[in-house]
Amino acid sequence: MLGLQYFSFEELWTPMFLFGMAAIVILYFYLIGPWREKHDPKAPPATRLQKTMFISAAILFYLAHGGPLNLLGHLMFTFHMVNMSLSYLVVPPLVLLGVPSFIWRKSFSAPFWKKFRFLMHPIICLLLFNFLFSVYHIPIVHDYVMTHFSVHRLYYFILLITSFMMWWQITVPVPEWAKLSDVKRMAYVFANGILLTPACALIIFAKTSMYSIYSDPNVWVTAMGYCVSGDPNRLLESFSGPQFFNLMDIVEDQQLGGIVMKFVQEIMYGAILWYIFKQWFKREHVDDEMPNTNTGTA
């Protein structure tokens, strides 16, 4: 059970967060159903695949930030990296592809958004996400963010927004808003992989423990205040620290976390490269699929 039996139902499942994610899913089905029929009946309905992707994204995001994985992420670094991978490498493309284009058009059609258009430049999106993600994994920054709850919420929110901005350039949920050609999108994916590699390598090849919240009981118990009710110091009365819950040596756990991040990154970027190539191939060969109407008569 990885020590989960020592925590309450509320600490494991965060019911309020679950209700919030359920409300978002209900809103999604309202928008693609009754709202579309009333305000944009000519818009193509959401496909079964789009619905599946959005629901999957909601479930994964809940597990990473409100379910057991959130708590496990405070006990083992490996699970922390699983949560980071799900939150910023898996969930954003699923949401962007799962939400039909007509919703994105309606959402960003107001003139208000024009003043922020410069932020959606592909290079800015690329650098912002990878910079924030890499800086976060500098040990002193990571420990500070994880032990200061207001900073934690703000940093995670900004990181989530920038991940959506970065993935927008790749998935392009509204075709006419595309800024990159298919070839440039594939190059963009490779650039993301290169920029994210140093942070993963730093973690994978470190020979000592880098993060105090997984090695120092006093720092760990402060971070646990984010996901347990009452005074988190009570944990030290029953457990020696995070090592009590860790299935591995601290350094091995840290290295496995870096490998998990790199592995998920490669899978997601490989899948999205195939998606882009498939789109490009279809567009390049659309003329071959058209019936030949220029057949002359002898």
Question: What is the structure's pLDDT at 294?
Answer: 53
Tell me: pLDDT of 1 over 60.
no
- Which pLDDT does position 288 carry in this prediction? 56
- Tell me whether residue 21 is in a domain: yes
Select from 256, 265, 137 the least CA-distant residue to 189. 265
Percent of the chain with pLDDT over 70: 95
Asked if residue 298 is part of any domain, the answer here is no
- Residue 3 inside a domain? The answer is no
Closest CA to 17 of 64, 83, 55, 87: 64
Q: pLDDT tens for residues 5-43?
A: 989 999 999 999 999 999 999 999 999 999 999 999 999
Does 204 reside within a domain? Answer: yes
Question: What are the C-alpha distances in Å from 211 to residues 27, 77, 118, 163, 297?
Answer: 39, 9, 36, 24, 78
Q: Is 228 exposed, middle or buried (0-12, 13-18, 19+ CB in 10 A)?
A: middle
Cα separations (Å) of 218 from 6, 209, 221, 238? 19, 15, 5, 14
Residue type, 195: L
- Residue 206 in domain: yes
Identify which has the larger pLDDT, 101 or 288: 101
In a domain, 101, yes or no: yes
Q: Are 188 and 269 in contact (CB under 8 A)?
A: no
Between the alpha carbon of residue 60 and those of residues 198, 270, 286, the distances in Å are: 26, 20, 36
- The pLDDT of residue 298 is 38
Q: Which token pair is 125?
A: 């999106």
**Mean pLDDT for the chain overall:** 91
Judge residue 204's burial from the number of C-beta atoms within 10 Å of its C-beta, 0-12 exposed, 13-18 middle, 19 or more buried.
middle
22: amino acid identity, one letter? A
Domain boundaries, position 57: 10-105+116-281
Q: Residue 149's pLDDT band (boundaries 50, 70, 90)?
A: very high
Report long-range pairs for 180-184 (Cβ below 8 Å, ≥24 apart): 180/122, 182/276, 182/277, 182/279, 182/280, 182/283, 183/280, 184/122
CA–CA dist 18, 24 (Å, integer): 10
**Domain presence at residue 267:** yes
Enter the tokens of residue 278: 């498939």
**Two tokens at 173?**
């949920």
The reported pTM is 0.91
Q: Which amino acid is at 47?
A: T
pLDDT tens profile 225-259: 988 888 898 898 888 888 899 889 999 999 999 99
Of 202, 206, 211, 225, nearest to 144 (Cα)?
211
Residue that is written with structure tokens 């789109």 in the block: 279
In a domain, 247, yes or no: yes
Q: How many domains does the chain have?
A: 1
The alpha carbon dihedral of 262, 267, 268, 273 has a sign of: positive
